[in-house]
Structure 1
Amino acid sequence: MRIAALIASLTALLWFFSTPLLAADLTLRSGGVVVKKYSDTDLSSMPKATIDTELPWLEGMNQFTGVKLEELFTQANTPLPELITFIALNDYKVSIRQEDIKQYQPIIANRKNGKRMSIRDKGPYWVIFPLSQYPEIDNTNYHSMMIWQLKEVRY
């Protein structure tokens, strides 16, 4: 009995520490077909965008660095769709309209305060809107669009 419990504990530990590696890629999918997979390195090599903002889930001002959503589609040679669905590791989904993306320039952040975000820290990828720059979007509608632990972008 003790051996079975030990094996179960070790399996859980291995899964826990390997999950960040498994969640490292961000998938761009259209009509069920994978268009592109982006690694943290891929995103870091694209033109960077930074948003300094306060968020309801964190203390004080934080700096997020990543890539603008428009740039993600430019890099994939794909026009920005009218509606984009974002999916988290826990399968939470949210859709964002093109007009919100163009007006507020959210990013897919892969760094918070200069450090790579772990799954425990709402990473590895987090859609961030500049709430401090646009107080009119500091509401639950836009908060719900700031999906963290992002794994997939569909259109």
Structure 2
Amino acid sequence: MDHAAIAASLSIPSGKTILKVGGSITEHNAGDEAIFDLAMLEALGTARFATATPWTDSRATWEGVPLVTLMTAVGASGKTIRATALNDYVVDVPLVGLAEDGAILAFRRDGQLMPISDKGPLFILYPFDDETRLQNQSFYMRCAWQVARLDII
């Protein structure tokens, strides 16, 4: 995937905006922000993994855009992603290690889009079942559901 080409051609969403990205980014499509609808996130390319989480009743298959891919697409430069949920809950995710740790911004659970009532539309997750080193509070605290905004700081 040519991430530079994606960043250079950040289009305007044609569907409902589900994510706003701001802060230290070089690619914009809405003032000083980059905004995305679902189709734009899917077009960046997706990753899928099955894992249980501390917040769900059972193991599920999660699909979404790798955070490292999204950060490349917006031209992120900084040290931290500050994620804000619809209820104003905030978590900080280090930019370092996103690719190695496999973090995604999930929008599907078991093949279905996630409604707001079930942790959607976007959920920052790690493949906990794939790597035991991810099964600890420092990684659990980087996760957030109902994500609406990412700021690069």
The answer to whether TM tops 0.5 is yes
CA contact (8 A) 1:117 1:125 kept: yes
Alpha-carbon separation, structure 1, partners of 2:77 and 2:132 = 25
1:144 equivalent to 2:151? Answer no
Question: Could you say if the C-alpha distance between residues 80 and 65 of structure 1 is closer, same or farther in structure 2, counting changes exceeding 3 Å?
Answer: farther
**Root-mean-square deviation (Å):** 1.9
1:65 equivalent to 2:58? Answer no
1:24 Cα deviation after fit: 4.7
Q: Quick one: which amino acid aligns to residue 45 of structure 2?
A: P
Question: Could you say if the C-alpha distance between residues 154 and 92 of structure 1 is closer, same or farther in structure 2, counting changes exceeding 3 Å?
Answer: same
Q: SS at the partner of 1:70?
A: helix
Cα displacement string for residues 21-56 of structure 1 (whole angstroms, at most 9, x for unaligned residues): xx852000116x642101112112221111211111
CA contact (8 A) 2:64 2:108 kept: yes
CA contact (8 A) 1:29 1:36 kept: yes
Alpha-carbon separation, structure 2, partners of 1:149 and 1:79 = 22
CA contact (8 A) 1:24 1:124 kept: no
* Match in the other structure for 1:17: none
Alpha-carbon separation, structure 1, partners of 2:77 and 2:118 = 28
* Match in the other structure for 2:6: none
The alignment covers a number of residue pairs equal to 132
Structure 1 gaps of 5+ residues are 1-22
CA contact (8 A) 1:67 1:107 kept: yes
CA contact (8 A) 2:86 2:147 kept: yes
Q: What is the TM-score normalised by the length of structure 2?
A: 0.78
Q: SS at the partner of 2:144?
A: coil
1:134 Cα deviation after fit: 1.2
Larger radius of gyration: 1
Alpha-carbon separation, structure 2, partners of 1:82 and 1:53 = 27
Structure 2 gaps of 5+ residues are 1-15, 25-30
Choose the corresponding residue for 1:48, options 46, 49, 53: 46
Cα displacement string for residues 70-101 of structure 1 (whole angstroms, at most 9, x for unaligned residues): 1112222x045321111001111111112231
* Match in the other structure for 2:92: 95
Alpha-carbon separation, structure 2, partners of 1:74 and 1:140 = 27
The percentage of counterpart residues that share the same residue type is 24
1:85 equivalent to 2:78? Answer no
Q: Quick one: which amino acid aligns to residue 104 of structure 2?
A: I
Choose the corresponding residue for 1:29, options 1, 10, 22: 22
Query: Structure 1 or 2: larger helix share?
Result: 1
Q: What is the TM-score normalised by the length of structure 1?
A: 0.77
Alpha-carbon separation, structure 2, partners of 1:35 and 1:24 = 12
